[in-house]
Amino acid sequence: MECEEKRKILINSLKYNGICDKVLDAMMRVPRHIFVPDDYQETAYMDMPLPIGHNQTISAPHMVAIMCDLLDISDGMKILEVGSGSGYNAAVMAELVGEKGHIYTVERIPELAHFAEENLKKAGYKNVTVIQDDGSCGLEEHEPYERISVTSAAPEVPRPLIDQLATEGIMVIPVGNGEQQLVVVRKDSKGNVSYEAWGGVIFVPLIGKYGY
């Protein structure tokens, strides 16, 4: 079965999670097999996380879909991602923000930052910038961000990320050690911050100054 056909079957299966069409259409345009190591090409379109080396994973497609759905991404937005991994999640968000938007994705592991950059280049994305650094500190150079997506679990929501979130912005972040919750953080027009637990998840830990 060709990759495109496998991708179509995967995306159709995600409809039952209540994901909006905009996110599903974006995921349909992203060739996930490009972002998966050679040894896992056969399972690139299965709804499961896959190892990418250095004790890190590429998230399961349903989790990427859920996080993008919760972020409510629109065309032209500027987004910060903490944890580039293989670049797949950034690619999906890049589709959602379009040519007028931009994704800044920060990865602490040099080899993975290079892997993500190469994958994104291979897939043709020009609206994503990969930075190798401690993502738990955010990225001050381009703040504020309308959306922030964190792909590893923090002990609590890092203060720098709250500070770098724009007013009327949304952040999605896994929080907790052991039992983790996916938390939706919102900042209103007056700068007040609210937190809403979406549900239980399992992510690798966020390593860094404001992580573990």
In the set 13, 59, 86, 136, the catalytic residue is 59
Contact assessment for residue 72 and residue 102, using Cβ atoms and an 8 Å cutoff: no
d(Cα 169, Cα 145) in Å, to the nearest integer? 7
Q: Which helix (H) or strand (E) holds 82?
A: strand 78-82
d(Cα 78, Cα 143) in Å, to the nearest integer? 9
**Is 194 annotated as catalytic?**
no
The DSSP line for 103-159 is: EEEEESSHHHHHHHHHHHHHHT--SEEEEES-GGG--GGG--EEEEEE-SBBSS--H
d(Cα 93, Cα 106) in Å, to the nearest integer? 14
Nearest in space to 113 (alpha carbons), one of 88, 133, 89? 133
Contact assessment for residue 132 and residue 110, using Cβ atoms and an 8 Å cutoff: yes
Nearest in space to 185 (alpha carbons), one of 171, 165, 198? 171
Catalytic positions are: 59
